[in-house]
Amino acid sequence: DTGVSQDPRHKITKRGQNVTFRCDPISEHNRLYWYRQTLGQGPEFLTYFQNEAQLEKSRLLSDRFSAERPKGSFSTLEIQRTEQGDSAMYLCASSYDTEAFFGQGTRLTVV
């Protein structure tokens, strides 16, 4: 399977804990995006990379959130000191040009 891969699929964490998610994009896709989706809503943009450079960050991305793509391949999204409001589906997508392909997402539940 050469699609976008996200790990883990599900994460339950206690409020205040740190969590890290991983995304492996489609090979040779130079752009990688993170989105967040809450129930009943469309995905909201968080941040995106072109190769290893983080080119844009949404105002939704508070200072508790950090994303990296150190070698221009896989990416990680870390949330520090999680809050209940962080509970959502975190989606990763990659693209080479116009079309973006999504992974299956990581469902985060903060209890």
Per CB under 8 A, residues contacting another protein are 4, 6, 31, 33, 35, 40-45, 48, 50, 56, 91, 93, 95, 97-105, 107
Residue 81 CB, nearest distance to another protein (Å)? 26
How many C-beta atoms lie closer than 10 Å to residue 56's C-beta?
12
Of the pair 13, 50, the CB lying nearest another protein is at 50
Q: In a 3-state reduction of DSSP, which class is residue 95?
A: strand
On the 0-12 / 13-18 / 19+ scale of CB atoms within 10 A, 20 is middle
Residue 29 CB, nearest distance to another protein (Å)? 10
